Amino acid sequence: MNTSAILDPFGFELSPDPAGGWAVRDRAGRSGGLFATREAALAFIRQERRVLAACAAERARFEAGAGSMRRAHAA
């Protein structure tokens, strides 16, 4: 078993915990958990990535719409 932490480019850290499970946490400390298997921990990370991607896409759509609204009001 690899005992070093694996850093994820999306901000998640996956590492074995002393009890034999796996720990996941994001760098900001807002999301994470303890998992019995590495596969369960990776599934959690995949799900969190999907949520983050959806939020980022929604924010981009909102900001694009807000920009067009500002241009319409300025005219």
**What are 6-55's pLDDT values in tens digits?**
655 568 899 999 999 999 998 888 889 999 999 999 999 999 888 888 88
Q: How many residues does the chain have?
A: 75
Q: Of the candidates 36, 49, 38, 37, which has an alpha carbon nearest to the alpha carbon of residue 8?
A: 49
Cα 23-31-48 angle, rounded to 5 deg: 95
Give me the residue label for tokens 């499970």. Answer: 21
Looking at the chain, which runs of residues are DSSP E strands?
A: 6-7, 12-16, 22-26, 32-35
**What residues does 12 pair with on adjacent strands?**
26
Assigned domain for 1 exists:
no
Assigned domain for 13 exists:
yes
Q: Whole domain around residue 42: which residue ranges? A: 6-74
Assigned domain for 64 exists:
yes
pLDDT band at 1 (very low <50, low <70, confident <90, very high): very low
Total domains present in the chain: 1
